[in-house]
C-alpha cells in the first residue's frame, strides 16, 4: 500500500541513497581534515639525536642509522645514515673546540622556523648567549658548556652541537 503516493521500495531507496551520500561526503571531509604524517626535518633530527642528548648529558642517538664504512671517515669522525630524507649524522670524538660533537648534515636547503624560534627563545631566556663565529654558547645552567650552531647555505643545511671543555 502506498504511503503519500510512494511505494515502500521507493521510500527505502531514497532514504538509502540520501544517507549513503551524506556518509560519503563526511568520509571525504574527514580524510582532508586528518593531519598528514609529518616527516622529521633536519632540525627535528638534530634535536632528537644531538641537542637533547647533549643538554641532558647523555650519548647521541644513532639507533636506526647505518654506520658508514670506517675507511671513508676522518680520524675521529663517525658518520651514520643517511636517513630516508637524506640526513647524515656526524659524530666527532675530537672536535677542535671541545670534547665531542654531534651534527646533522643535509645536502639541500631547509629553512626551519622551529630552529629559528628555538634560537630566539634561548637567547631571550639567557640560557644561551651569542658566541664567536655564529656559535651560541650555553650559560651556567650546564657544565661543561655547549656550543650550538645552525647553518643554511645555498645547498647545505648543517646543525651542530659541541660539548666544550669550558666550565662556568
Do both 85 and 137 map to the same domain?
A: yes
Encode pLDDT of 3-26 as tens digits. 555 555 554 445 444 444 443 443
Residue 168 located in a structural domain: no
Do both 68 and 112 map to the same domain?
A: yes
Q: Which domain holds residue 129?
A: 42-163
Do both 24 and 48 map to the same domain?
A: no
Do both 76 and 158 map to the same domain?
A: yes
Q: Are 27 and 136 in contact (CB under 8 A)?
A: no
Residue 109 located in a structural domain: yes
Which is higher by pLDDT, 1 or 23? 1
Encode pLDDT of 24-41 as tens digits. 443 333 333 333 334 579
Do both 141 and 159 map to the same domain?
A: yes
Residue 99 located in a structural domain: yes
Q: Where are the alpha helices (DSSP H) in 2-161?
A: 8-33, 42-46, 52-55, 113-125
For position 5, what pLDDT does the model report?
A: 58
Do both 19 and 51 map to the same domain?
A: no
Do both 17 and 95 map to the same domain?
A: no
Torsional sign, CA 44, 105, 60, 58: negative
- The C-alpha cell of 58 is what? 647523555
Rounded to whole angstroms, how far apart are CA atoms 98 and 85? Answer: 29
Average pLDDT value for residue range 83-110: 93
Residue 66 located in a structural domain: yes
Do both 59 and 93 map to the same domain?
A: yes
pLDDT higher than threshold 70 for residue 70: yes
For position 10, what pLDDT does the model report?
A: 56
Do both 18 and 90 map to the same domain?
A: no
Do both 106 and 145 map to the same domain?
A: yes
Tally of domains within the chain = 2
pLDDT higher than threshold 80 for residue 124: yes
Do both 66 and 124 map to the same domain?
A: yes
Distances, alpha carbon 55 to alpha carbons 6, 65, 143, 145, 166, in Å? 74, 21, 10, 9, 15
Do both 51 and 116 map to the same domain?
A: yes
Amino acid at each position: 500500500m502506498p504511503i503519500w503516493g510512494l511505494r515502500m521500495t521507493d521510500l527505502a531507496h531514497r532514504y538509502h541513497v540520501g544517507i549513503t551520500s551524506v556518509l560519503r561526503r563526511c568520509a571525504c571531509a574527514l580524510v582532508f581534515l586528518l593531519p598528514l604524517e609529518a616527516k622529521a626535518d633536519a632540525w627535528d633530527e638534530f634535536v632528537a639525536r644531538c641537542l637533547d642528548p647533549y643538554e641532558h648529558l647523555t650519548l647521541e642517538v644513532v639507533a636506526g642509522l647505518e654506520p658508514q664504512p670506517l675507511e671513508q671517515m676522518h680520524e675521529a669522525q663517525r658518520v651514520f645514515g643517511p636517513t630516508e630524507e637524506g640526513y647524515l649524522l656526524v659524530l666527532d670524538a675530537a672536535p677542535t673546540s671541545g670534547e665531542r660533537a654531534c651534527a646533522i648534515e643535509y645536502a639541500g636547503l631547509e629553512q626551519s622556523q622551529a630552529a629559528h624560534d628555538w634560537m630566539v627563545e634561548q637567547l631571550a631566556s639567557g640560557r644561551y648567549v651569542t658566541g664567536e663565529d655564529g656559535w651560541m654558547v650555553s650559560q651556567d645552567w650546564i657544565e661543561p658548556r655547549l656550543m650550538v650552531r645552525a647553518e643554511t647555505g645555498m645547498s647545505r643545511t648543517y646543525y651542530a652541537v659541541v660539548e666544550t671543555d669550558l666550565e662556568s
